[in-house]
Amino acid sequence: MNVLKRFQSVKQFIKTHNINDVTKRSTHHVISIDIDGEHLKFPHVWLRDNCQCEQCFHTSARSRIIDYSNFNIDSKPKAVVKGANSVQITWDDGHTSNFKLDWLKLRSFTAESQNKYTDFIYRPKRTSWHGKEFLKICGIHDYNKIVQSDEALYEWLYDVSVYGVALIQNTPNKENAIDNIIARVGFSKQTHYGVKFTVQNVANTSNVAYLSSNLQMHTDLPYYEYCPGVNMLHCLVQTKSEGGENLLSDCHYTAQYMKENYPEEYEILTNIEVEWSDIGVEDGNEFFKLYRSPVICLDSNKEVTRINCSIPQRGNHFPGLLNVVVPWYKAHKLFFDLNQEFAAKFKTKEGDILVFDNIRLLHGRNKYEDKPNNTRKLIGGYVDWDEIYSRLRCLKVKLFPNSGIL
Amino acid sequence: MNVLKRFQSVKQFIKTHNINDVTKRSTHHVISIDIDGEHLKFPHVWLRDNCQCEQCFHTSARSRIIDYSNFNIDSKPKAVVKGANSVQITWDDGHTSNFKLDWLKLRSFTAESQNKYTDFIYRPKRTSWHGKEFLKICGIHDYNKIVQSDEALYEWLYDVSVYGVALIQNTPNKENAIDNIIARVGFSKQTHYGVKFTVQNVANTSNVAYLSSNLQMHTDLPYYEYCPGVNMLHCLVQTKSEGGENLLSDCHYTAQYMKENYPEEYEILTNIEVEWSDIGVEDGNEFFKLYRSPVICLDSNKEVTRINCSIPQRGNHFPGLLNVVVPWYKAHKLFFDLNQEFAAKFKTKEGDILVFDNIRLLHGRNKYEDKPNNTRKLIGGYVDWDEIYSRLRCLKVKLFPNSGIL
């Protein structure tokens, strides 16, 4: 979410596409309004489009209701009258719009204002970490506080969005205990493994996670285009044997490390699509998932948006040219090894819910051994980022009532 | 899914990143195997990685179980022995792999083979259309046949994936009738509007879709990063008044038209992110969704992957530089107007389920008037593309048992 970077990319776009002449012309299409000592510019068309009067904006639906078939994108202001807290614009067709100055300021086009809006309202800025910093960055939260208090709920979700991981303690020893936590956010993401899932050693399993052997570091369900956003693993019974520890690695750290130290391998992993795959039957329902995507997915600003990694769930079809195969395997092995090197290792206790960003972190588990009176058992559930960011914003409105968000 | 195009993009990638020397070296890392008269090449590392023996591949989980910490990406074959239907490779560490020739052929690296795999197994190739072709391309399917027959289910889902639209008729007049159809695919996508939703005229609504006025052409829920894939609207009661017709436009057609005739506006709509927004309360649960994305989203091969468009649900914050605002509004208005021009118009009947690709088509509705004995009422539900493509592949395995897919 680096706005300056985004701006550079937009500037590059403007330059490449030779729309400088358009943008020069567009300086005649703006109004300047002084707000709190700042000289802020707003395009006419944006102001007209965002008129907040009852004819243009539906109050209960909080939605624009302008009829776009008849919308004039060349509307011009006939008069602009600034009051103490608001500005009134009369348009050339006689329509009148009123805007509060605070409302305008929050939506202004300066880099500083855009930056503030992005970090405070859109999505909090992320902080990447090396495994040796894990104890410092992994926030400890309390089950009952999250269930009861909006502040605790906010702090937990904020931690997960910034660091990609957080631990909830003191969870009741019940199979449905994570339901209360998920309900505080919104609802689960269902997959072909169900609304929730049980992680324990199972014979003839449809998924290698349901074994007691080493579970290599991976993201869950990379074969889903809509890959589960956040993974919550409630430890009901931990093994008393050796092993069973979790491994966690922040791939935003690994990606940045590769970008700096292995730029060619980084380019390969961000550009070459491979095929993620899961074929089987669960609860009588057949599934055959395939999804093509690079290991490291970038947005148009070259920021990491998603990580895909799973040894068992990478398909046996390679969707690409023969001569990228060997370079891809080399880059992928490097990525895998670096994540093992950078990983944090720790063992959850009964009552812990380990919560982590499934499209950012790799997670794994060391092998263990079930005993007759000690069968390791976790209950898992997923929640998507759409619902988590939504809940964070709703809580911000509540907890920071004077921030002028709405 | 144009493989040749994808190959061009990979070739461009290889050229840009100067990995030709690596790829030249990699010709020493392949085995050539003659299969059905074709001289097919397979990289050593890919063969070793996809060894199908019990030590390397878990049968019931259909998953690779190679320990990647110790995986040697430089494994070399010591001996290659080809039989009538299979080939045996003995590796330099003594490990032995057996591959069926059919299995290898389906996964070979020629453009022709990759193309076939992509269209037949990965995702069917799409066909775009102008509204005047609507009656020709919109397949008519029968509710009971879809519920009872795998062939009918396959044909319906194939239509939706190729054309982005299909009509189901003879649906029972029950509020939960679409549940049977959704269960045949998998399960619903839940959103903050619920697992299903009712479209009718509601006072003090949280969504402008729940009014009887003109509903401008749009995609549903563009403010979801995981935007619902397919929309199913079951017409329980249609209005007997004037109006209530649906409008549908294939944005893959519109995008291609803009690319050819308005390349600058196309570039703007594919590059400039705007903010999609929905803020409100539904069933007592608050939501505050925001998502930044261009109107026309492209993948790395410049193929259209997703369309976002909604006048009411575009936020009032513009996340970008001042000087792209006016060009963006011009390009957006053009896109909106072209979709209206290219749209098909028709009125569903009671018993119809209109099914359409929500990240490809725009849909809208003309205004209508409820009467005391005639209240228009639709029941809607969403299913994601992950589940639809998965079901299509499972059905292919069943319906084409000799295709060698698995």
Q: Whose structure tokens read 């380019």?
A: A267
* pLDDT score, position B332: 98
* pLDDT score, position B383: 98
Give the pLDDT band (50/70/90) at residue B21: very low
State how far the alpha carbon of A347 is from the alpha carbons of A167, A216, A353, in Å.
Answer: 12, 16, 12
d(CA A65, CA A57): 5
Q: What single-letter amino acid sits at B64?
A: R
Using an 8 Å CB-CB cutoff, list chain A residues near B71.
Answer: 333
DSSP reduced 3-state for A84: coil
d(CA B143, CA B152): 9
Using an 8 Å CB-CB cutoff, list chain A residues near B73.
Answer: 329-330, 333
Q: Which residues make Cβ contacts (< 8 Å) with residue A377, sequence separation at least 6? A: A198, A199, A200, A236, A237
Averaged pLDDT for residues A223-242: 96
Give the pLDDT band (50/70/90) at residue A207: confident
Q: What single-letter amino acid sits at A189?
A: K
The closest CB to that of B17, out of A107, A264, A319, belongs to A264
* pLDDT score, position A297: 98
% of chain A beyond a pLDDT of 70? 93
Query: Residue B187 in contact with residue A194, Cβ under 8 Å?
Result: no
Averaged pLDDT for residues B57-79: 94
Using an 8 Å CB-CB cutoff, list chain A residues near B278.
Answer: 62
* pLDDT score, position B9: 58
Averaged pLDDT for residues A55-65: 92
The closest CB to that of A17, out of B206, B267, B384, belongs to B267
* pLDDT score, position B27: 54
String of DSSP letters for B285-345: EEEEEEEEE-SEEE-TTS-EEEE---STTB-S---S-GGGHHHHHHHHHHHHHHHHHH-EE
Q: Which residues make Cβ contacts (< 8 Å) with residue A70, sequence separation at least 6? A: none
State how far the alpha carbon of B214 is from the alpha carbons of A148, B153, B201, B368, in Å.
Answer: 43, 33, 12, 8
d(CA B152, CA B185): 12
Give the pLDDT band (50/70/90) at residue B390: very high
Query: Residue B281 in contact with residue B319, Cβ under 8 Å?
Result: no
In this complex, do B264 and A17 lie within 8 Å of one another by their Cβ atoms?
A: yes
From the list A189, A308, A68, the residue with the least C-alpha distance to B215 is: A68
B97 pLDDT above the threshold of 80: yes
DSSP reduced 3-state for A339: helix
CATH topology of domain B131-395: Double-stranded beta-helix (3.60.130)
A238 pLDDT above the threshold of 80: yes
From the list B55, B388, B291, B195, the residue with the least C-alpha distance to A291 is: B388
Express each pLDDT in A270-305 by its tens digit.
999 999 999 999 999 999 999 999 999 999 889 999
Express each pLDDT in B107-156 by its tens digit.
999 999 999 999 999 999 999 999 999 999 999 999 999 999 999 999 99
From the list B152, B190, B194, the residue with the least C-alpha distance to B169 is: B152
* pLDDT score, position B228: 98
B160 pLDDT above the threshold of 90: yes
DSSP A67: -
Tally Cβ neighbours within 10 Å of residue A56: 17
* pLDDT score, position A60: 85
Task: Name the residue of chain A whose CA is nearest to B337's CA.
Answer: A69
The closest CB to that of B192, out of A11, A186, A268, belongs to A186
Which class is domain A3-122?
alpha beta
Task: Name the residue of chain A whose CA is nearest to B113's CA.
Answer: A319
Which residues are registered as beta bridge partners of B298? B304
Using an 8 Å CB-CB cutoff, list chain B residues near A65.
Answer: 208, 213, 311-312
Express each pLDDT in B173-188 by its tens digit.
999 999 999 999 999 9
DSSP reduced 3-state for A175: coil
Using an 8 Å CB-CB cutoff, list chain B residues near A393.
Answer: 288, 290
* pLDDT score, position B11: 58
* pLDDT score, position B169: 98
pTM listed for this prediction: 0.94
| Angle between helix B251-261 and helix B263-271 axes, rounded to 10 deg | 130
Per-domain residue ranges of chain B: 3-122, 131-395
* pLDDT score, position B18: 52
Query: Which among A321, A396, A399 is the top mutation candidate for probing chain B, defined by the most B β-carbons within 10 Å of its own β-carbon?
Result: A321
The closest CB to that of A316, out of B11, B25, B50, belongs to B50
Let me know if the fold of A3-122 is the same as that of A131-396.
no
Using an 8 Å CB-CB cutoff, list chain A residues near B323.
Answer: 14, 22-23, 26-27
* pLDDT score, position A229: 98
Which residues are registered as beta bridge partners of A215? A365
Task: Name the residue of chain A whose CA is nearest to B291's CA.
Answer: A122
From the list B258, B253, B257, B359, the residue with the least C-alpha distance to B309 is: B359
Of A18 and A29, which is predicted with more confidence?
A29
Express each pLDDT in A114-160 by its tens digit.
999 999 999 999 999 999 999 999 999 999 999 999 999 999 999 99
Query: Residue B364 in contact with residue B309, Cβ under 8 Å?
Result: no
Tally Cβ neighbours within 10 Å of residue A283: 8
CATH superfamily of A131-396: Clavaminate synthase-like (3.60.130.10)
Express each pLDDT in B255-276 by its tens digit.
999 999 999 999 999 999 999 9
d(CA A336, CA B66): 13
Using an 8 Å CB-CB cutoff, list chain B residues near A321.
Answer: 7, 10-11, 14, 109
A27 pLDDT above the threshold of 70: no
The closest CB to that of B186, out of A192, A264, A387, belongs to A192
**Average pLDDT, rounded, for chain B:** 92
The closest CB to that of B226, out of A61, A226, A318, belongs to A226
Averaged pLDDT for residues A381-393: 98
In this complex, do A275 and B10 lie within 8 Å of one another by their Cβ atoms?
A: no
* pLDDT score, position B1: 34
**Average pLDDT, rounded, for chain A:** 93
CA dihedral for B34, B35, B39, B45, sign (positive or negative): negative
